[in-house]
């Protein structure tokens, strides 16, 4: 089965071809980072306009690269939500138009299911599992007994982990998105110079809170002589990353113990973080749990994960009609 995936939920325009015989044939991403960098965050209207300009040429390019016509596909999968509605609508309308033109089945995918199933692009996933979803807009632990069955065990009370990286990076004068530069600079940092909070550690629920981290970083940074030295910035990055990784892994493994799972997984942009990947691998090994991180290119937004999720839905006989709508918010629901 050959599925075209379309992802336009935020600031990356992406299309991909998943072939059930050979895996991801190609994953094309047109990044808008340069466009939004100047504003320190994503400007929704600019994102929608850029998707509109970039999406169809990317689809043409993908099909040409594989000497395919639309009718050679078996289905189209498109992110229906959550995300920026204007941005989602560009992908959704394009997916519907292409499906109608070539008489192909269409399926709407929950973006978070895509992030989770990115793990399956490079390995056979082991179940039951607990998945830590950590992206720009989400921080939650999901219990997953099989593909298509999702139970949210808890999540953030305020900022998402990706937001915590982005906001602290902004305070340090680092570019947007802040996760990659913090990850890189943390490797040069020395431990123990700063102490940042790890809130709610004794709370019996699976909960995170990252809003206090931003204030704590600001207060520490203000105490230092200005401008900050490269070593100051690296030392703050080291402890910011450490505080976030501590909070996330403590709750992930608590959840894994509660559900007695066989595996843990990471999903979303923050799953690309070196500190988080290393700590999760270490803690999983201690407990005899299976863990392999997703490939870094499939952590941030991409259409390969959406195409693969579409393949899972089509294989289970699920498809949507042309009345499929976008949704800005909404939890990932079980569909099996
Ligand atoms: N190496 C890294 N370390 C830490 N954070 C990272 C790293 N790489 C990317 N990120 C963070 O990942 C986030 C982007 O992830 P993603 O693309 O999944 O988010 P999103 O699509 O905007 O949000 P959502 O998936 O919740 O809708 C950004 O906040 C970015 O800083
Ligand atoms: Mg995302």
Point out the ligand nearest to the CA of residue 11.
Answer: 1
Q: 60: CA distance to ligand 2 center in Å?
A: 24
Yes or no: say if 177 and 163 are a contact pair by the CB < 8 Å rule: no
Any idea which residue has 């559900």 for tokens?
259
Q: Does the model's pTM come out above 0.75?
A: yes
Q: Is 10 in the pocket of ligand 1 (CB under 6 A)?
A: yes
Look at the alpha carbons of 327, 330, 331, 336 in this order and tell me if their dihedral is positive or negative: negative
Q: Tell me how crowded residue 59 is: count the other CB atoms within 10 A of its CB.
A: 21
Mutate which of 14, 44, 85, 135 for ligand 1 pocket (most atoms within 8 A of beta carbon) = 135
Taking each continuous run of H as one helix and of E as one strand, the counts in the chain are 10, 10
Ligand 1 pocket, 232 CB below 6 A? no
Distance 165 CA to ligand 1 centre (A): 9
What tens-digit pLDDT sequence spans the chain (336 residues)? 999 999 999 999 999 999 999 999 999 999 888 888 778 778 999 999 999 999 999 999 999 999 999 999 999 999 999 999 999 999 999 999 999 999 999 999 999 999 999 999 999 999 999 999 999 999 999 999 999 999 999 999 999 999 999 999 999 999 989 999 999 999 999 999 999 999 999 999 999 999 999 999 999 999 999 999 999 999 999 999 999 999 999 999 999 999 999 999 999 999 999 999 999 999 999 999 999 999 999 999 999 999 999 999 999 999 999 999 999 999 999 999
Structural domains of the chain in order of their starting residue, each with its CATH number: 2-116+298-315 (3.30.420.40), 126-293 (3.30.420.40)
């Amino acid at each position: 089965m050959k599925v075209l995936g379309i992802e336009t939920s935020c600031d990356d325009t992406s299309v991909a071809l998943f072939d059930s015989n050979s895996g991801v044939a190609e994953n094309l991403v047109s990044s808008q980072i340069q466009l939004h960098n100047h504003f320190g965050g994503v400007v929704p209207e600019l994102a929608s306009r850029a998707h509109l300009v970039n999406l169809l040429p990317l689809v043409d390019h993908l099909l040409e690269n594989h000497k395919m016509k639309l009718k050679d596909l078996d289905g189209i999968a498109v992110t229906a939500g959550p995300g920026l509605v204007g941005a989602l609508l560009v992908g959704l309308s394009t997916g519907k138009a292409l499906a109608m033109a070539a008489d192909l089945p269409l399926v709407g995918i929950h973006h978070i299911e895509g992030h989770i199933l990115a793990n399956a692009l490079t390995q056979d996933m082991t179940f039951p599992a607990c998945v830590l979803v950590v992206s720009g807009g989400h921080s939650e632990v999901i219990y997953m007994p099989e593909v298509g069955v999702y139970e949210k065990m808890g999540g953030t009370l305020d900022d998402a982990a990706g937001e915590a990286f982005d906001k602290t990076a902004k305070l340090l004068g680092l570019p947007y998105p802040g996760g990659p530069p913090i990850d890189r600079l943390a490797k040069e940092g020395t431990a123990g110079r700063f102490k940042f909070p790890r809130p709610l550690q004794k709370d019996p629920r699976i909960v995170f809170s990252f809003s206090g981290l931003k204030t704590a970083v600001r207060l520490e940074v203000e105490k230092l002589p200005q401008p900050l030295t490269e070593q100051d910035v690296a030392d703050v990055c080291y402890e910011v990353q450490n505080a976030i990784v501590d909070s996330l892994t403590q709750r992930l493994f608590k959840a894994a113990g509660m559900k007695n799972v066989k595996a843990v997984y990471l999903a979303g942009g923050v799953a690309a973080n070196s500190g988080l990947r290393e700590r999760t691998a270490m803690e999983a090994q201690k407990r005899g749990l299976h863990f392999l991180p997703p490939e870094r290119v499939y952590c941030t937004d991409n259409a390969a994960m959406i195409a693969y999720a579409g393949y899972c839905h089509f294989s289970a006989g699920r498809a949507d009609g042309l009345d499929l709508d976008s949704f800005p918010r909404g939890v990932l629901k079980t569909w099996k």
